[in-house]
Every structure is written in structure tokens, then in C-alpha cells.
Amino acid sequence: MNYDLVIRNGTIVDGSGAPAYRGDVGVVGDRIAALGPITDKGSREIDAEGHYVTPGFVDGHTHMDAQVFWDELGTNSCWHGVTSVVMGNCGFTLAPASYEGRELAVANLERAEDIARTSLEAGIDWSWTSFPEYLDAVDRMPKGLNYAANIGHSPLRTWNMGEAAFEREATPDELARMAVQVREAMRAGAVGFTTSRSINHETPDDLPVASRLASWDEVRALVGVLGEERRGVFEIANEAAVASRDPDERHEYYARLRALALDTGVPVTFGLFASTIGNELLAVIDDVNASGGTMFGLTHCRGVGSVMSFLTRMPFDGFTEWKKIRSLPLAQQLAALKDPAVRARLVDDANNAEFGRAIGAEARRPKYERMEVMRSAHLRNATVAQEATARGTGPVEAIIDIAIETELKALFSQVIAPQPEELLFPMLRHPATAMTFSDSGAHVSQIVDSSIQTYLLASMVRDREIFTWEEAVRMITHRPALHWHLQDRGLLQEGMMADINVFDPDTIAPDLPVVADDLPGGGRRYLQRATGIAATVVNGTVLFRNGKETGERPGRLLRGGASMANG
């Protein structure tokens, strides 16, 4: 047989969870044609001796709806072995919306997803109105990765209700129009419908995003369209009841979710973090699946955290004394930090001023015993509290000293909600979860979770041996592909699409992030590459070889089909 690509001498971890084996992979066109040994030559060959060969990683929770229009490669995800992403989560999408009406769509995601308005204005041509037209626009773009898209509840409401979407429930006529548009979107290839009821999702004017004004009956009606069409997944950013101290309030919400999944027949998913409440939600998932419905949780292997730097933002930036310094050019900031009088004022401000909405809704007092000084992206780092003790100073003084020593390049990270490992590891192993909660494309100046796949492999497989390679690879390939009905991806088998990674198990790891001003309009974000990935193949074409892009753009729009097979 004439092969377009042969990957030889690798250890194949096929994504199924079956034991790894030594072999070759032959590719013809965009599909896997044979699994070794292969004697025939390929037009292109990769020697994978000493490397693992796996399916491309699948990320089911991203917000790359806007980024796809200005970033052909799909960074940072593409650097971490991700070959397919699902975007449009939490009700945040760019359609339906016209150029003239884009302000309302932008209002939903600008703050909630921390996507700068300047980047949205400079990077998007807004050549669509309807969601099917948006899909066609994505389809036309040159892409390194494969993209699947959900239709989001918030722009659906703003398109049909205008400003009233931020103020009230929908009328029957407005809901009927929304239902028609959801049906059109699903038939055009949307892979699901998403919403947010989270109190954390607000507009720049401190209003709830539009989807939060919807009644539960509205949500049920729109999810019901997916059930009638027998296609798609429903994703929800959970409402405040999940965090309630009142167990009755939580369980009332769980009952509504359960009824929604069972009554409509639509697969339901949401973020699932290791905690007591997370275990309650996992019990709901088990109950729904045992009762004939489909529900699954989206897990995160290290816990969502923020990365801070004097080059981006620090938790004290809203305070009076800090504002004076942080408004200066970086060189002047560095000089000011070395002034004992300035330092004293900054330390006093950071230690004594009040955190909260007055300086930004996301501002929280740092927990210095959990706030790390990032010197590695996958190993445990010293905390600020530990650094302060070693230096004989307070934690804020230690932060300033470290910033000065690194010419302001030092990175500090803190997981917002730590996940106890005794709860986390069983949750990651659970068959009704997918380790896929990167939020890639959003929070780009705060969060660098596009690296969760390489972190999982480096930290929890190689370094700590919590999971086997076979277990972990299945978590990030076949399992998410099944949940989103990407039927021909996530496995290395004959006839499957040739999305493939070749990596060195001894060196694969996320690199430390760096700061770049490369967004449209000059916006700032973190970039984070990885080491140890020898090749990434998308649809049979090599996208990266030894960390360098090939110039190819083999990615595609993945349109959903009429399938509700249980994942």
C-alpha cells in the first residue's frame, strides 16, 4: 500500500485504555489505514523510537469562538497536543448577532470571559447574522485545529430581545423565535446548546449576562429542541444553588437537572470539581445514567487558578498606592519598587486595604500559603509564604523582592479552589467524566489552562504515577470524543481520522508561560508552549514537528450529526 505518512517504531497508546504496544501507524489521506508492523514506505515518515503515539487530545470546554478568526494555529492548545476543540460553552458565542447588533453580543462575554473589546473589534469581521452563517464563516477560515461549536443562550436572547434580554424573561413569541433558531443551528451542525446561570458571569456594567434572566421553563424549552432533533449536548454553567449552604436549595436544583436530562433525552454536562458538592453532583450523574439518561461532568486535573505578574496584573492593582505605581511604564515601576519609602506604602496598602468589588469583582485577598512562585509549570513550587519565611520578610515584601530580582518577569500562581486529591483522583477516573476544562480562548491574561493535558501527563502520570499512561490518554482522547459524539476521533484504529500525537514520555511537560502583546489591537495574554512533543498530526497532515509549525492548516469545522448515542 502507498502511505502518505508512516509513524514507525513507536509505543502505541490507542486511547481505548488497552495496554500499550509497539507498532507503526500508516496514514492514507486523512485517515488511519493500518496499524503496524508496516513494511511499505510512506511519502513522509516519522521515526517514533522511544516515543508514545496517541490520538490527538480533545478539549470539550473552550471559548475559542472569537480567537479562531485571528489565530490560525489555535494557540495555546495546539502546543499541548490538542487537535480538536469544542467552543461556545457557558452560553457565550458570537452568533446570532449582526455587525450592527454586535455590542449586545460582546457585552455578554467581554467581562465574563475576559476577552478584550479591542481584540473583538480588531480581530473579527462579523460577516454573519445567524448561527448557521457563523458556522460557515468558521468553515472558511484556515485552521490548524478542528473546531466544533455550540450555540449559546446569551446571544440568542440578545438577538431576539435586545436590551430587554438583560432585564426580564422572554415572552412566548420571543421564546418561539429562539426555538426556531436553535433548531436551525442544530441542523446546520452545532454540537450543542449552552447556557450560564452562574453568579460569576456578569457584563461590564455589573448586570447578569443575558442567559441568567431566563426562566427554567425557557431553558427546558430550548433544550427540548435538541431532544426533538435527537442531536447535540446541553452544557450549563451551574447556578448559584450549587454553592448554597442550604442543602434543600442544592437538591432542588439537582432535581431540575435530573428531570431535564430524563425528560428531554438530551445529554447534560457541566463543570465538576472535587469537593463535597462535586461528589453530590457526581451522585446525580450516576443516578441519571442509571435511569436511562445521559449526564457527564467536565473535570480539571489541577484546579482552576490564576497566574499573576507585574507584566500583567497583580491582586493589589486596584489599591490607591498600587495604582500610582502600576500606571507607570515598567522601567519606572521597577525603579519605584526599589525605593524603601514606596515599598513601605505598597506593603501597607496590600496588607490593610479592603479587597472586593470596589477594585474589581474578581479581586480576592491572596492566600499566601497557597500562592506559588512559578519556577516550574508541572512540579510543585515554593509558596509565597515559604519564600517569605526563608527571606525573613512578610509575603508582600517577598513578592516585591522576587519581582525586582527577575526584572518584573516573575510569575505567581494560585488555585482558586483547591481540589483534595482523595476526591479528585476517583473523579478523574470516573467513566462519566472528561478531563477537559481548559477555558482556552478566555481569561487569557489570567489563566493558562490550555496546558492541562500536558500537565496531567507530566505531573500525574510520569512524575507521581497516579495514573497509567493508558488511563490518562483515554481521559483526554476517547472519553471526550465519545461524550461529544466525535465518532471518528479519539482512537488510533483503522478507519479513524488521523489526529495523532507523538511524544517523549520522559520529557513531555508544559513550559512556563510568557507574556505577549500579540492579540488584535495589541492586547496582552499569556503564551505557554510545551516540551517533548515530537509531532502533532491533524487530519493526516503534520501540523507541528519538533515544536515547529509546518505551515500547514489541516483543521476543519466539525459539524454535529443526528446522533444521541450514549457516551
Q: Give the residue-averaged pLDDT of 537-544.
A: 98
Can you give the pLDDT at residue 417? Answer: 81
Can you give the pLDDT at residue 566? Answer: 39
Alpha carbons within 13 angstroms on the beta-carbon side of residue 105 total: 28
| Burial of 7: CB neighbours in 10 Å, binned 0-12, 13-18, 19+ | buried
Which of 21-25, 112-116, 185-189, 460-464 is the least confident region?
Answer: 112-116
Q: How confident is the model at residue 457 (pLDDT cuts 50, 70, 90)?
A: very high
Q: Mean pLDDT of all residues in the chain? A: 94
Q: Give the residue-averaged pLDDT of 192-221.
A: 94
Q: Does the structure show a pLDDT above 60 at 360? A: no
Can you give the pLDDT at residue 184? Answer: 98
**φ, ψ for residue 31, nearest 5 deg:** -125, 155
Q: Do domains 3-55+497-510+529-549 and 58-304+431-483 have the same CATH topology?
A: no
- Highest mean pLDDT out of 53-57, 347-351, 355-359: 53-57
Q: Does the structure show a pLDDT above 80 at 567? A: no
Per residue in 382-393, pLDDT (tens digit) is 999 999 999 999
Q: How confident is the model at residue 357 (pLDDT cuts 50, 70, 90)?
A: low
In Å, how far are 149, 156, 481 from 261, measured between CA atoms?
A: 21, 22, 20
Per residue in 489-511, pLDDT (tens digit) is 999 999 999 999 999 999 999 99
Q: Give the residue-averaged pLDDT of 418-429.
A: 96
Q: Does the structure show a pLDDT above 50 at 28? A: yes
In Å, how far are 87, 356, 380, 409, 411 from 375, measured between CA atoms?
A: 31, 29, 9, 11, 8
Q: Does the structure show a pLDDT above 80 at 139? A: yes
Q: Is 426 helix (H, G, I), strand (E, B) or coil?
A: helix
Per residue in 184-202, pLDDT (tens digit) is 999 999 999 999 999 989 8
pTM above 0.85, yes or no: yes
Per residue in 305-344, pLDDT (tens digit) is 899 999 999 999 999 999 999 999 999 999 999 999 999 9
Strands 514-516 and 525-527: antiparallel
Break the chain into its structural domains and give their ranges. Answer: 3-55+497-510+529-549, 58-304+431-483, 306-415
Can you give the pLDDT at residue 562? Answer: 61
**Which of 499, 445, 430 is CA-nearest to residue 284?**
430
β-strand partners of 298: 271, 434
Q: Does the structure show a pLDDT above 90 at 271? A: yes
**φ, ψ for residue 68, nearest 5 deg:** -60, -20
Name the superfamily (CATH) of residues 3-55+497-510+529-549: Urease, subunit C, domain 1 (2.30.40.10)
Q: Give the residue-averaged pLDDT of 333-357.
A: 92
* The listed CATH number (3.40.50.720, 3.40.50.920, 3.20.20.140, 3.20.20.70) that belongs to domain 58-304+431-483: 3.20.20.140
Can you give the pLDDT at residue 108? Answer: 79
Q: Does the structure show a pLDDT above 80 at 564? A: no
| Residue 445 grid coordinates | 491574561
Q: Where are the alpha helices (DSSP H) in 20-152?
A: 102-109, 117-123, 131-140
Q: Does the structure show a pLDDT above 50 at 565? A: no
In this predicted model, which residue has the larger pLDDT, 205 or 25? 25
Per residue in 87-112, pLDDT (tens digit) is 999 999 999 998 888 888 888 778 77
